[in-house]
Structure 1
Amino acid sequence: MAVASLTEIELALKNTLGKKGMEEEDLKKLAEYVASFFGYAGSVIDNRLASEDRDIFYMLEEEGLLTTMEEEVHLKKRKNVEDSLLDVEDRSSHQISEYGIS
């Protein structure tokens, strides 16, 4: 997944939330806030978000700006040296959608 630039995030927010009346300054702050989670990555693991951050991400998902992807991860856990168990973890992550960027 391609990484969106700060300018692309601002444009996407302007095309959605800006049309609903959000002020330009607030759009820029929100774009910086969202970009700070992604850095140079294309996704953010959901369980690393605080509940307030998660609420904002779900609001942006409703606007079509983020998508949620779920994957199943197999983690190897050892009870002792001779015996190991596999544990399955469902992990959600959020990705920036290309909707609204153009």
Structure 2
Amino acid sequence: MDMIENSPFAPEILTKVIASKIGLNEQMAKEVALRILNYFGYGELVIDNILDQEDRRLFYFLQDLKLLKTNWEETILPNGRSWRIFYWELNTEEILREAQKLIATKEETVNIYDTLPDAVWSRERPEVAV
């Protein structure tokens, strides 16, 4: 739990969230997570201009899943024209929320076995009355 609270950009966390949201296997989800984190590094914003077309499609897909957000700013060029700069942002709140759900689900699954009686774990067969 501390890992999630302290490191929302950890590849392991993003991998598990992507695997859960998209339904990818662990290896493919890890590749996607590393691809995303290679753009972001230790920051939260990436300028849209650095993305190639394939990665931009991936980012739009992840935006649909609410894992990424977009924003923009407008500036005035020396010639008087306005220029918009578009940014991508990791939706850390959603990523952490999804990661917490996965941890809660895992804890629930583990706790199911705690509710079974001790006799279930015995290798001896119960005697049957004839």
Q: TM-score, normalised by structure 2?
A: 0.61
Aligned to 2:44: 42
Q: Which has the higher helix share?
A: 2
Mapped pair 1:65 → 2:85: no
- Rg larger for: 2
In 2, Cα distance between equivalents of 1:86 and 1:65: 36
How far apart are residue 45 of structure 1 and its match? 0.6
Mapped pair 1:90 → 2:84: yes
Mapped pair 1:9 → 2:14: yes
- Equivalent residues, number: 90
Compute the RMSD of aligned alpha carbons.
Answer: 2.0
Aligned to 2:113: none
Contact 1:68 1:92 in 2 (8 A): yes
User: Is the alpha carbon distance of 1:74 and 1:3 closer, same or farther for their aligned partners in structure 2, counting shifts above 3 Å?
Assistant: farther
Q: Please, which runs of 5 or more residues in structure 1 have no aligned partner?
A: 78-84
Q: Please, which runs of 5 or more residues in structure 2 have no aligned partner?
A: 1-6, 101-130
Contact 1:3 1:41 in 2 (8 A): no
Task: State the Cα deviation string for residues 12-55 of structure 1 (Å, max 9, x = none).
Answer: 213311xx3x1111011111111000001111111111111100
